[in-house]
Structure 1
Amino acid sequence: MATNNNVCDVCRQTSTVTHWCLECEEALCSYCIEHHKKRKITRKHKPIPISKYESLPSFITDIHQLCVYHNEIYQLYCSIHDSTVCYKCIKDHGQCGVIPLDDVDNFAKIIDLELRMGNILKNIESIKEERESNMSTIEKHKAEVKTVRKEINKLLDKLEKDIDEKKNECREKIKKITSKLNKRETETVKCRTIVDDIKQNATNLQTFVILKDIEEIITEKEQYLQTGIDNVEVVVDTGLLNIMNIVHDLKTIGTFDIKTHKRFVSQEPSTVTNKLFLKCERIDNISLSLRKEISISHSNSTCIRGCCISPNGQFLFTDRFKCCVYQLNEVCALRNTWLIEPTLGYGIVCVDAHTVVISSGIHCFKPGLAILNLQLQKKKTFIELPGRTYGVTKEGQSLFTCVQNQGIYEINLTDFKTTRIIRCDITSSSHIAVYSDKIYYTDNNEDCVICCDREGLRIWTFKDVSVLQNPRGIAVDDGNVFVVGEMTDNMIAISSDGNSYRELLTKHQGLSSPSAIFVDRKKKNILVANTGTKAFLYNFSFH
C-alpha cells in the first residue's frame, strides 16, 4: 500500500489522489489516471477508486504484483511449489508444472466457492433449527406429563368423591340400626332393675307374676337378636395398593436425559477442491484441419473398435473381427499386423512408446486387459476382470476401463492393483475418457454421454438423439468432450458443462459408422477411425 496517498506516484505532485492501480501498485491523481487509461501498456489495467482500495483488508493489499527477486509481474503459477512466479523465475522451475495465470479461471473458482459457502450457511441454519427444536421437544414432553397428571388427579378426585358419598350412606344406615339397638338396650336395663327389686322386696306370688312378664320381654329381645340384625359392611377396592406396588417397582415414571453426539452434515462435494479451474476453450472456437486420410487395411471385413497414436508417432488400430492390431508408421504405411489373443481386441491405449494395453471386448471366457510389448509383439501380462471389458484409457499412472454390468475399474500401473471405483450397471461397448478429476463414458443403449466425478457422482448427462446415436469412441481435451456417433456418422464436441454441442465432422468429411477416436493433447491432433478401413488425422486449434 502506498505510504502517502496524498502524493501521486506518477507525477509526484501533492494533489488529490483519486485512484489506485492494482497492477502497477501506484496511486494516481485525476490528471494521471487519464494518461494511464490511454497508454498502450496500461490501458487494460483496471484502477479502482482510492476509497475502495483503502477499505480493502490488509491480506489483499499485502499481495504484491511484482516478483520480489526480479521486479517483474507475476504471470505464472507453479503447482509444485504452490507459488506465483515471473518469467525470469522459470529457470528455477524448469521441471515443475508451470501454467500461465491467464489460463486460470478465477471466476469459475469464485462460483464454486460461493456455492460451497452457501451450502455451509444452509447447513448451519439447519443445525440451528434442529437445536431449537430440542427445546420444543422438552416443552412437549412436559405438557404430556401435565396431561397425565391431570387425568390421574381426575380419577383420584372421583374416587375421593365416591368415598364421601358411600360414607354418608353408611352413616344413615348405621344410625337407624343403632337407634333400634338403643331402644332394646334401655328396655333390657329396665327389666334388670325390676328383677333386682323383686329379689329383695316382692312376695313369691308377686315375683312369679312379674317374672312371667319380664320373661316375655326378654324372649322378644332374644328373638330380635337371633333373627339377624342388618350389618353394614364397607367393601372397598380403591386400587391404590396396586398403584403403590407399581410405583414402588417403577421407582420413577420415565427418564429424561440430555446426550451430546456428533451430527455430520452432507456437504455437497466440490469437484475442484485444492485444484485450479483452468479456462476451457469454447467449442465454437474449434477449428479442424485435415492432415492425413489413412487406409488401415485392404480387407473389406474389418471392425475397428479402438485407435491411438504412440508417443513415437505409430498409428495403432484394433480389429475385433480379426482379433488383431494394425500398426502403421508415421507416414501411415502398414508396418505390422499381429494377433492379440486371448483378447478379441476392443479398446487400446499406449502406456509408453513400447507398451500398449488392449481390452478383451466381448470375450466372455477370459475378460480383462492385455498389456503387450510393441517391439516384441509379445504379451507382458494379463489383468483379469469380472466381466466383459470394453473402453480403456490412461491417466497418470493408472488405467481406467469399463466392465459390463460391474462399473468402472482403476488399475495401478505400478503394482497392477485393481479397484472398482464406480459401481454402476454399465452397458456393453462403452468407451471411457478421464480428464483431471472427471470421468466421461458413453452409453450406447441410452444414446448418451455421462460425466461424473471419481466417486461416481453424476455431474451431467448429454443426450440428443437428433445429433448423437450409438456413441462409441470418446476423448477429452481441456474439458471439451469429443465423441463419435456410429449411427449418426459424425463427430461432435460437447462443452465442458455438458450444456451445448457442436457437430465438427459428418459423412460429408468421410465419416461412415465411426467407432473410435483419439486426441493427442500436446500436439493437438485428433484421430478418428471408421468401423471399416478408413481413418482421418486432423489438427485442431482454437481461434
Structure 2
Amino acid sequence: MMNLIVTGEIKGNEVGEKFLRVNSSENLFQTEIEDIQPNRIVLIMKVKAQTLQSKDQFMEKMLKLLVKVLIPKEENQFPNSTIDTVIIGFADRITLENPPSQEELVKYAQRAEGYNLFLSVSLNRKFDLKSQDDGYLDLSDCTILSTKMVFTDSKGLLIYDTTIDATDYIPLSEKPRYVTEIDNETVAVSSDWDWGIKIISLTTKEVSRTIQTSGYCYGVSFYDIKLYAAFKNGNISDVQVIDRDSQNEFQKSNVVPVFSDSVRYITVNNGKLFYTAESILYCCDLNGKIQWQFSDDKHSCLLGVTSDGNGNAFVSCLSAHAVLLVLSGGKKYREILNRSSGLTLPRGIHFAKHDNVIKPIKCP
C-alpha cells in the first residue's frame, strides 16, 4: 500500500474520478479516496493480489499510472500547470491510525527515481535588497551559507542575515560577478575584469588571500575541497581546478576542458560539472567529457546554473524571465518559475541541498 498526495489548483473530485476510472482498466492498483480538501486530495493506492519483485518495479508501474492519469494526452513533457506537487510515500509500516507526516512522505518520494517529474516549488521568503548608499544594485550571482545569503553587486558583496533580517556590505575595488561558498564564514569571489580570485572572510570583512590566475576569471564553484573556476585568456577557455590544503592554501592542480569560449556560470556537484554558454547548458564529468547538453529555441540566453546533486539542473533564462528544471539526461525540462511567479531577468541561482531551497536573483 502507498499514500499519494496531489496538491495544486485542482478540483479534487475530478482528479479522484480519474483515478477511480483507471481502476477499472488496471489490474494492479486499486485506488481509495482518503480525503479531499480545496487544492488537495489524498488517495490510498493498494496493490491487488500480484507479486512484485521489488519496490523499483512497483514504482515504475506506479509512475506509469500517474502519467496516465495526470498528464493530458497532448502533453509530451510534464503535467500541466494545474498539478504542482505529487508526493509519493510507501506505507511499509504505516497504518491509517498512525499516518505519516508530510516530511516523511517527501523523504520516501525522493528515494524514488522519477519523482522529480512532478517537482514543484513554493515561495519560502521574498525580500528586497538595498545598496549601502541607496544607489542602483547590479546583482549577478548568489550563494547560501548556513544563515546568510551572499550576493555579488558591482561594487562589492551584499550579505543578508536570515536570522535577524538585516543586511551588511563589503565594498570591493574590482566589480565582483561570481561567488561560491567555501565554508560558513568564507566565500570565493571572481570578476570578469580581474585575473584573480579573492577569498573573503565574512567575519573580518577582509580579503584573506588572492589566488592569481592565468586569465580573466568567470564562474566559480567549491566542491570536495576543490575550487573550480572558469577562465578565459584570448581564445582559450577552460575550467581550472584549484586544491585547498589543511592550511587553507590554494594551488592549481589540473584543467578541465570546455566546449565553448563563452562559458560564464558554472557549478560542480556530485562529480558533475555544469556550465552555461549562451543558449546551451552542458553537463560533463570532472574530466570534461560531455554527459549531456540541453538547448531549446524558446529559452535562449541561459545564465546561472545550480544542481540538486541528483543530476538535475536548475538554470536561469534571462530572455524568457524563467528558471528551468532540466532533468538528468537533458531531454525533459519544465519552467518552475517565470513572470507569473513575479520573476524578471533572473541571473544567478543557488540550490541549498541541506534545506531544499532554490535562490534565484533578479534585476530590480
TM-score by length of 1: 0.44
- Two-structure CA RMSD over aligned residues (Å): 2.6
SS in 1 for 2:340: helix
1:499-520 Cα deviation digits (max 9, x unpaired): 1110111112121111110101
User: CA offset at residue 310 of structure 1?
Assistant: 0.9
- Structure 2 counterpart of 1:253: none
1:64-99 Cα deviation digits (max 9, x unpaired): xxxxxxxxxxxxxxxxxxxxxxxxxxxxxxxxxxxx
- Structure 1 counterpart of 2:140: 305
Using a 3 Å threshold, how does the CA distance of structure 1 residues 413 and 42 change in structure 2: closer, same or farther?
farther
- Structure 2 counterpart of 1:469: 300
User: CA offset at residue 419 of structure 1?
Assistant: 3.1
The amino acid of 2:149's aligned partner reads: F
User: 2: CA distance between counterparts of 1:103 and 1:438?
Assistant: 23
Q: Which of the residues 319, 335, 340 maps onto 1:503? A: 335
User: 1: CA distance between counterparts of 2:164 and 2:341?
Assistant: 19
User: CA offset at residue 417 of structure 1?
Assistant: 1.6
CA contact (8 A) 2:324 2:336 kept: yes
User: 1: CA distance between counterparts of 2:271 and 2:302?
Assistant: 22
Q: Percent identity among equivalent residues?
A: 21
Q: How does 1:274-293 map to 2 (within 5 A)?
A: 280-293=113-126
Q: Which of the residues 323, 343, 350 maps onto 2:181? A: 350
Q: How does 1:379-528 map to 2 (within 5 A)?
A: 379-404=207-232, 405-414=236-245, 415-424=249-258, 426-428=260-262, 430-444=264-278, 447-466=279-298, 468-477=299-308, 478-528=310-360
CA contact (8 A) 1:283 1:493 kept: no
Question: Between Structure 1 and Structure 2, which shows a larger proportion of helix residues?
Answer: 1
Using a 3 Å threshold, how does the CA distance of structure 1 residues 47 and 353 change in structure 2: closer, same or farther?
closer
1:467-489 Cα deviation digits (max 9, x unpaired): x2211110001211000011211
The amino acid of 2:188's aligned partner reads: V
User: 1: CA distance between counterparts of 2:261 and 2:164?
Assistant: 33
Q: Which has the larger radius of gyration?
A: 1
Runs of 4+ more than 6 Å apart: 40-44
User: CA offset at residue 331 of structure 1?
Assistant: 4.9
Using a 3 Å threshold, how does the CA distance of structure 1 residues 47 and 437 change in structure 2: closer, same or farther?
closer
User: CA offset at residue 462 of structure 1?
Assistant: 0.6
CA contact (8 A) 2:237 2:263 kept: no
- How many residues align structurally? 257
User: CA offset at residue 465 of structure 1?
Assistant: 2.5
The amino acid of 2:212's aligned partner reads: E
SS in 1 for 2:250: coil
- Structure 2 counterpart of 1:295: 128
User: CA offset at residue 282 of structure 1?
Assistant: 4.2
The amino acid of 1:287's aligned partner reads: S
User: CA offset at residue 300 of structure 1?
Assistant: 5.6
User: CA offset at residue 325 of structure 1?
Assistant: 0.5
- Structure 2 counterpart of 1:362: 192
- Structure 1 counterpart of 2:72: none
CA contact (8 A) 2:186 2:199 kept: yes
Using a 3 Å threshold, how does the CA distance of structure 1 residues 429 and 306 change in structure 2: closer, same or farther?
farther
CA contact (8 A) 1:283 1:502 kept: no
Q: How does 1:263-282 map to 2 (within 5 A)?
A: 280-282=113-115
User: 2: CA distance between counterparts of 1:297 and 1:378?
Assistant: 21
User: CA offset at residue 334 of structure 1?
Assistant: 3.7
User: 1: CA distance between counterparts of 2:338 and 2:53?
Assistant: 49
CA contact (8 A) 1:390 1:431 kept: yes
User: CA offset at residue 388 of structure 1?
Assistant: 1.4
The amino acid of 2:253's aligned partner reads: T
1:142-161 Cα deviation digits (max 9, x unpaired): xxxxxxxxxxxxxxxxxxxx
TM-score by length of 2: 0.65
User: CA offset at residue 335 of structure 1?
Assistant: 2.5
